Amino acid sequence: MKEFTLKQWIIVVILISVITFGTGFLFGKNFGFKSATVNVNKEPVVISQSPQEPVLITIYVTGAVKTPDVYKVDEGSIVKDAINTAGGPLSNADLIAVNLARKVQDGEEIIIPFKEENTSTGASNSNNNSTKSQKININIASVSELESLPGIGEVKANAIINYRKNYGPFKDIKDIINVSGIGDKTFESIKDLICVN
């Protein structure tokens, strides 16, 4: 058998390589082998949120406001919002005495005070009238009214009325001592309860 030379072996190897490469190329082309490419479309996911309805709380606004009443306001409202909801403050409202920036609470009663000068004047007049109405006017009091005084019974009450008829009205509460049966001790017990006008 004829032996191949080195040159011939090289030629044979090259031919085999070419045939193998060509066969593989044609085989791959015919069967359409292609590299697989996966395209993933990344789109932003948008989560839609429905708007939340405002939470309402109930408050009672009274005092120096135009329309005191029970109102519903948004949660997180402040005292100033409550006053405006009630029609706004009156001209004599003492807003300095109120923290207008304070948050109101559900079920709260918000009292807007009047200015101190008006309040004190009104209270003083009320107290004076109350004190006067509690005293008994000995110039016009009836027997039963006079009997309500400590130490004054039916006899002394009639004596006071008779004194008025005979000598006219009392000019001073101390004049009641002139009535028969009424002395200094009785006067001391009733002096703060009687008046003459």
Q: Mean pLDDT throughout 3-12?
A: 70
Tell me the pLDDT band of 181, cut-offs 50, 70 and 90.
Answer: confident
Tell me the pLDDT band of 120, cut-offs 50, 70 and 90.
Answer: very low
Tell me the pLDDT band of 183, cut-offs 50, 70 and 90.
Answer: confident
Q: 56-116 — its CATH code?
A: 3.10.20
Q: Where are the domains of the chain?
A: 56-116, 135-195
43 vs 61: CA distance, rounded Å: 53
Identify the H or E element spanning 71.
strand 69-74
Contact 157, 101 (CB under 8 A): no
Q: What angle do CA 179, 189, 176 make, to 5 degrees?
A: 20
β-strand pairing of 109-112 with 56-63: parallel
The answer for residues whose C-beta is within 8 angstroms of residue 87's C-beta and 6 or more apart is 65, 66, 67
Report whether pLDDT(68) > 80. Answer: yes
Contact 193, 135 (CB under 8 A): yes
Q: Mean pLDDT throughout 46-68?
A: 84
Both tokens assigned to 154: 């039916």
pTM beyond cutoff 0.75: no
Both tokens assigned to 109: 């009663």
Report whether pLDDT(119) > 50. Answer: no
Other residues' Cβ atoms within 10 Å of the Cβ of residue 86: 23
Q: 135-195 — its CATH code?
A: 1.10.150.320
Give me the percent of the chain exceeding a pLDDT of 70: 73
The answer for residues whose C-beta is within 8 angstroms of residue 154's C-beta and 6 or more apart is 143, 147
Stronger pLDDT, 18 or 181, i.e. the higher one: 181
